[in-house]
Amino acid sequence: MKRARNVAVLVYEKVDLLDVAGPFDVFALSSKWGEDFNVYTVGESSIPVNTISGLSMNPKHSFDDCPTPDILIVPGGIGARTTMYDESITTWIRKTAEQAELVLSVCSGALLLATANLLGGLKVTTHRRAFDLLRQVIPQSATVVENVRYVDNGKIILSAGVTAGIDAAIHIVSRLHGSERALETASMLEHDWSGRLIVRKAQSEDIDAMQQLYVEAAKWISSMKGILQWGEEDFTREYIEQFIHEKEVFVAYINGELAGCFSIQWEYEMIWGDLFHDQAGYVHRLAVSRNIKGQGIGSRLLDWAEAYIKNKGKAWMRLDCMADNPPLNDYYQSQGLVYCGRHNDSRWSANLYERKIK
């Protein structure tokens, strides 16, 4: 019989109640009556602690008698701004995290992970009112990500403020036990979590994530396929800023993480020459994060783009693809895009594809 994972939720003076209770309930409700998760609170000692709202909590365990956590949850609250400098607590967090399978910080709990020296080289987030302080205490190798519900670095996951901890906890349930269990848990909590793809127009706060996605895509294409379709040096911050300012650019997020981006253009393009017509929307710069490969995100983005183009009264979705990238050409054809021409430049060639909108 498999052992239930131990889920330790740290409590301390002036912790936020919902930061504690939200993830606690997620793991408790998803546990199949304790079969999968053994959830408990832990404090530095057994002395009761007071939440921000004045509720007194009795830690089930102290640092001395706490079962070894498989999952460590570090909530935030006003008290995090002082507890982050308590070496006995941050040392325990650091040592516990070394042995744990997963670590989740909620809200300003990220401050405690920072002073426990756990955030080097990671993407980090926190409550919007704690970003300035977080930037002061993280190493230069860490990257602050704003306007997301959470960021997943593999072992260490950090959520934004308060209720975002519920989203991050459900995400962990999804990672460990699948999306069906996660959706069941969200339903029991009557919480809106579906792992859905959210597509919207790109904004200035998306620039850093977009730049990283495009650079990683360019590296992967070059290293894995030996194709110079995109150059890493092309995707400067200035280029991305100009791109979203001048074009109709869209970003897609899934569970708080940038999943992909693309643009749709309507005006004449030389690459299409005499084949150009104004009854189509032209998809460009489509890229999907390598972190979520194999989940059909590219197909979903193409379907979304088609629906958007249809809503504009157009009858066709079109795009071009470098001719010397056979896997990508095969992929677009597998998505129902039909070859309709070729553009030859002095240094490169592109195949032209279209899909009739139903």
Q: At what angle do helices 207-225 and 237-246 cross, to 10 degrees?
A: 110
- Transcribe 290-356 into DSSP letters: GGGTTSSHHHHHHHHHHHHHHHTT--EEEEEEETT-HHHHHHHHHTT-EEEEEEE-SS-EEEEEEEE
Looking at the annotation, which residues are catalytic? 107
Tokens 């498999």 correspond to: 2
- CA–CA distances in Å: residue 57 to residues 61, 104, 236: 12, 20, 50
Based on the number of CB atoms within 10 Å of its own CB, is 246 exposed (0-12), middle (13-18) or buried (19 or more)?
Answer: exposed
CA-to-CA distance for 58 and 50, rounded, in angstroms? 9
Based on the number of CB atoms within 10 Å of its own CB, is 352 exposed (0-12), middle (13-18) or buried (19 or more)?
Answer: buried
